[in-house]
Amino acid sequence: MLIRLVQRPEPSAGMVYVSPVIAVVLTILTSMVMFALLGVDPVKAVVTFFIEPISSLDGVAELCVKATPLILIGVGLSLGFQANVWNIGAEGQLVIGALAGGGLGLAFFDQSSVFLVPAMLVCGVLGGMAWAAIPAWLKTRFNTNEILTSLMLTYVGLLVLSYLVHGPWKDPEGQNFPESRLFHDSALLPILIDETRLNVGFLLALLVVVAGWVLISRHIIGFQIKVIGMAPMAASFAGFKEKRLIWLTLLISGGCAGLAGVIELSGAIGQIVPTISPGYGFTAIIVAFLGRLHPVGVMFAGLLMALTYLGGDSAQITMNLPNAVTGVFQGMLLFYLLASDVLIKYRLRIGAPKIQREAAQ
Amino acid sequence: MIDWLVPAFLTIVTAATPLVFAALGETVVEKAGVLNLGVEGMMIMGAIAAFATAVSTDSGLLAVLAGAGAGALIALIFGVLTVYLQSNQVATGLALTIFGLGLSALIGHSYVGKTFDGLPKLNIPGISDIPVIGPLLFGHDGLVYFSVLSVGLVAWFLTRTRAGLLIRAVGENHDAAHSIGYSVTLIRMGAILFGGAMAGIGGAYLSVSYTPLWVENMTAGRGWIALALVVFASWKPWRGFFGAYLFGGITIIQLYAQGMGVEVSAQFLSMLPYIATILVLVIISRDSAKARLNAPACLGKNFHASG
């Protein structure tokens, strides 16, 4: 039996939406096999992973808290990915944004002000933008590959964080733990539902989804981004300024990542700690693809991926599985998604190709 | 001076060797026109497979083979997706890295804290004991010599053999190679598997020789540095080799600066390899015409035979 790929005359619009569903189903089936191999009852594991974490109000609130950075970063990255600008250093931009905003919070640790939170958010955005501006400048000025530079800067950013919490920003009254002081109450994002960690940050993420949708679907810049990604030659003939779009997409995605970082600090953590993010910047890459590089899709994908973090935690607590399962699960999902995406452009055909017989007749 | 230089050189060698393997493998992959950004994931899989084998069998050779096998196996996923299913190479490579880091952490969970003696060092009685030259040339473990040998072999293979020419042809113009009857898919799959095996050996070197223990994320970005080295070396094996030693040199600045009492935080010194990578990329890419001339023309482009 021979399975062939036959190019569709036009990419299938339906498959764009079916493919993520196929990928999720295949991932769940494969992880059931994986759970069985690890000696765990697969059905119970899937229930623990995907259903238990969101079976309470507290769980749903926590889901939104975890989804907030994923959605924010995912929306930003998806703009760049559409223009073939591969910012994969969002993790570093998140950290620097968090440090910029969190640094302001620390500076005013003993003062109360209604302007503190907005100022921290702005600093977070600017910090993320500044970190993303480096690969943007290097790419537009020196033609340097942004994948490698943005990733290298992630390592640098994480080391800056490590330096600050172990050194100058360490809590002077904190028994030498590598943590900063706690922020003042007025530096914390307002909580939406009492007794949970759900904060205003989630609303900001939804706002960014709407803004991203307007930009990509209703604005000339979104049109230019799409053209430059699909047909770079056409874009240059049309006179779109490629360098400007590189700057723009990197600054937007960096700004979103920085905002995610400061929201994480001021909304969920409340002080600067050595690990601000469990890899949200990298997971958001998967979120962007799973969400079909569309802001609304990214929102759903962000919620789903947030569930894998909660699932990993709950599997660790109740079933004693290492929470690295989350990473395996996320990687597998992206593999299946990329594989299923072949069905957008190609049809599967079974059997050998029909041989042309005109010559014989 | 001499008693300072010898250990310094040995540190350079150990820091450079994993990069040599990974960059060499990726050079062949990219020569075939495939951009596999999953080097980090293949390395870390090689590292855990090698370490697990080393702990359970106590055999260095089996460990290295397991590392190569694990790297090739995970590269196979990348190959099937990009070569047969036409998936985006950049995205698939990223997926490979995310998957590899996760899977290795899952497998490595039960190996944390275990130890292995490390690979045996070459020891020729009389010769290895010669001052300076002995430890410099005759005191390494087998993988170091194997890395030099592989660079020589790959350089010869790519430029002097028919199969090497085919790999380059597929990377420069896959349509032409296909039209004269060569299987682009098979050649690319072969290159991808080779790249995976080499990255796996690089990872194995880290976990059974460099620091013979398992730490989550122990590759610490070396896979990405290897990718940068390939560009830096203009896709030439020997240049990649020297590039890797240059990076090894930067690593030891890190180790020795503190020993010599330089008042800089450890974190700033640890940034050096990453910042150096960026600087090197800037220097090498600034002349865009020249950079394009060296890069394989079909790099990153998928091939689908029409009809």
| Burial class of residue B225 in the structure, from the number of CB atoms within 10 Å of its CB (0-12 exposed, 13-18 middle, 19+ buried) | buried
- State how far the alpha carbon of B22 is from the alpha carbons of A15, A155, B206, B229, B293, in Å: 37, 19, 11, 9, 23
Beta bridge partners of A347: A6
Residue in B81, B109, B304 nearest the CB of A322: B109
Domains of chain B: 2-294 (1.10.3470)
Q: For the residues A269-291, what does the mean pLDDT come to?
A: 91
Give domain status of residue A359, yes or no.
no
Give domain status of residue A190, yes or no.
yes
pTM assigned to the model: 0.89
- Alpha-carbon distance of A81 to A77, in angstroms, equals 6
Give domain status of residue A30, yes or no.
no
Give domain status of residue A57, yes or no.
yes
CB contact under 8 A, B220 and A285: no
Question: So what's the pLDDT on residue A235?
Answer: 83
Residue in B86, B103, B291 nearest the CB of A143: B291
Question: So what's the pLDDT on residue A109?
Answer: 85
Total CB pairs under 8 A between chain A and B: 139
* Confidence class for position A353, pLDDT limits 50, 70, 90: low
Q: How far apart are the first and last CA of chain A?
A: 28
With a pLDDT cut of 90, the percent of chain A lying above it is 45
Give domain status of residue A228, yes or no.
yes
Question: Cβ contacts (< 8 Å) between B291 and chain A: which residues?
Answer: 143
- Chain segment A220-254, per-residue pLDDT in tens: 888 888 888 888 888 888 888 888 999 999 999 99
Give domain status of residue A2, yes or no.
no
- Chain segment A52-81, per-residue pLDDT in tens: 888 888 899 999 999 999 999 999 999 999
Q: For the residues A86-109, what does the mean pLDDT come to?
A: 94
- Chain segment B68-105, per-residue pLDDT in tens: 999 999 999 999 999 988 888 888 998 899 899 989 99
Amino acid making up residue B269: L
Owning domain of residue A297 = 53-346
Question: Cβ contacts (< 8 Å) between B224 and chain A: which residues?
Answer: 148, 151-152
SS3 label, residue A71? helix
Higher pLDDT, B119 or B226: B226
pLDDT at residue A285 is higher than 50: yes
Identify the residue among B83, B96, B98 best suited for mutation to test binding to A, counting A beta carbons within 10 A and taking the highest: B98
Secondary structure, 3-state, A91-155? HHHHHHHHHHHHHHHHHCCCCCCCCHHHHHHHHHHHHHHHHHHHHHHHHHHHCCCHHHHHHHHHH
User: What's the mean per-residue pLDDT of chain A?
Assistant: 88
Give domain status of residue A28, yes or no.
no
A345, A8 Cβ separation under 8 angstroms: yes
The CATH code of the domain that includes A113 is 1.10.3470
User: What's the mean per-residue pLDDT of chain B?
Assistant: 88
Q: How many structural domains compose chain A?
A: 1
Higher pLDDT, A145 or B156: B156
* Confidence class for position B307, pLDDT limits 50, 70, 90: very low
Q: What is the ipTM of this complex?
A: 0.87
Give domain status of residue A37, yes or no.
no
Residue in A167, A324, A345 nearest the CB of B106: A324
CB contact under 8 A, A324 and B109: yes
